[in-house]
Chain A
Amino acid sequence: MKNQIIPRVIAKLFIPLILLFALYVQFHGDFGPGGGFQAGVIFAAGFVLYTLIFGLDEAKRVAGPAVVEIVIALGLLLYACTGVAGMMKGGRYLDYGVLGADPVAGQHLGILLIELGVGITVASVIIGIFYAFVGRNRA
């Protein structure tokens, strides 16, 4: 679709907005609708649109499959390590209360971190699967 001007222009306009909206859903999830799962799929959808319009090679220059595979594990690790951090500080596993200066601040920090972990894993899993699917078409 590289040579069709309308999809190209529309995609260039919309992809930054989609990615920004994903980040908004991610970090505003404490106050409005949304959270890690939603943010992850929206971010991945923006990435998929980029790949559809500009081609797999361009997308792989942004984030190669090797990078995506590492990031899949990083998200889950961030989630699990947040739980371990709580244990180190004297709480129970995934008890965020001890992470901050006071329990409520700790809850906020813990929720932010684990939602980020969820978002990272969801987005990179979808992007990775999409790469694998598209890569097969050409093999």
Chain B
Amino acid sequence: MTMIELIDVVLLALLAATAVAVVLTRNLLAAVILAGIFSLLSAGLFAVMDAVDVAFTEAAVGAGISTVLLIGTLALTARKEAKSSRPSPLTLLAVLATGAVLIYGTLDMPRFGDPEAPVHTHVAPEYLKDSVPHAGGSAARVDVENIVTSVLASYRGYDTLGETTVIFCAGVGVLLLLKGTRRGREPEDGR
């Protein structure tokens, strides 16, 4: 077992343990903090799998900002989960069936990191050739070392514009919902 595999196994085991703890605990503050730890562990896994961009985002948003927002929400509501009725065996059956279907779905997927996987043989070689001049391309058209950036910003410029618009709309929507009720009760703050 190589070092990377050992790290993978440890991280995955901790991830599973954290997920179970989140489900079991009745203390909501503990659940929020455990969810933050879950995100940090996921970020570690992403970093091990060389997805550093995703790891950045997961660590900053999942472990940092969303934890703070959830704690802020807890300050407004209760700290303890309300007693819920015992889940019916039907729930367990539905969850198990969904999980089994999802696992069945992964069986057809190519092995992780397989160079012959469809995702690596379709348009990716073209992008690689255009992004990195010394990777064998005659004349790089984008010439940006970080291929993720070149794909996101240049080849998929429309998609990224759409994503930014989604973030903009989400932000405006949340601000309208949270601030709309306060109008007139206190003077307009700001500068």
Chain B residues bordering chain A, tally (CB within 8 A): 50
A residues 7-52 with Cβ under 8 Å of B?
Answer: 25, 29-35, 37-38, 41-42, 44-45, 48, 52
Complex interface: chain A residues within 8 A of B73 (CB):
133
Across the interface, do A35 and B148 meet the contact criterion of CB distance under 8 Å?
Answer: yes
B111 at interface (Cβ–Cβ under 8 A)?
A: no
Complex interface: chain B residues within 8 A of A134 (CB):
72
Give the interface SS of chain B, mostly helix, strand, loop or mixed.
helix
Across the interface, do A125 and B143 meet the contact criterion of CB distance under 8 Å?
Answer: no
Chain A residue with the shortest CB-CB distance to B52? A33
Chain A residue with the shortest CB-CB distance to B66? A126
Across the interface, do B167 and A125 meet the contact criterion of CB distance under 8 Å?
Answer: yes
Across the interface, do A133 and B72 meet the contact criterion of CB distance under 8 Å?
Answer: yes
B175 at interface (Cβ–Cβ under 8 A)?
A: yes
A114, B154: Cα distance in complex, Å: 9
B5 to chain A, nearest CB (A): 23
B60 at interface (Cβ–Cβ under 8 A)?
A: yes
Chain A residue with the shortest CB-CB distance to B171? A125
A85, B177: Cα distance in complex, Å: 34
Across the interface, do A64 and B189 meet the contact criterion of CB distance under 8 Å?
Answer: yes
A132, B174: Cα distance in complex, Å: 8
Complex interface: chain B residues within 8 A of A111 (CB):
142, 144, 149-150, 153-154
- Of the candidate stretches B32-40, B97-105, B157-165, the one touching chain A is B157-165
Check A126/B65 contact, CB under 8 A, given A111-B144, A115-B149. Answer: yes
Across the interface, do A64 and B157 meet the contact criterion of CB distance under 8 Å?
Answer: no
A137 at interface (Cβ–Cβ under 8 A)?
A: yes
Complex interface: chain B residues within 8 A of A45 (CB):
60, 64-65
Complex interface: chain A residues within 8 A of B179 (CB):
132, 135
A2, B188: Cα distance in complex, Å: 25
Complex interface: chain B residues within 8 A of A48 (CB):
64-65, 68
B92 at interface (Cβ–Cβ under 8 A)?
A: no
Across the interface, do B53 and A38 meet the contact criterion of CB distance under 8 Å?
Answer: yes
A31, B131: Cα distance in complex, Å: 11
Across the interface, do B153 and A129 meet the contact criterion of CB distance under 8 Å?
Answer: no
Complex interface: chain A residues within 8 A of B65 (CB):
41, 44-45, 48, 126, 130
9 new A-B contacts at CB < 8 Å, known A32-B146, A133-B178: A38-B60, A41-B60, A110-B153, A111-B144, A124-B171, A128-B171, A128-B175, A130-B68, A139-B182
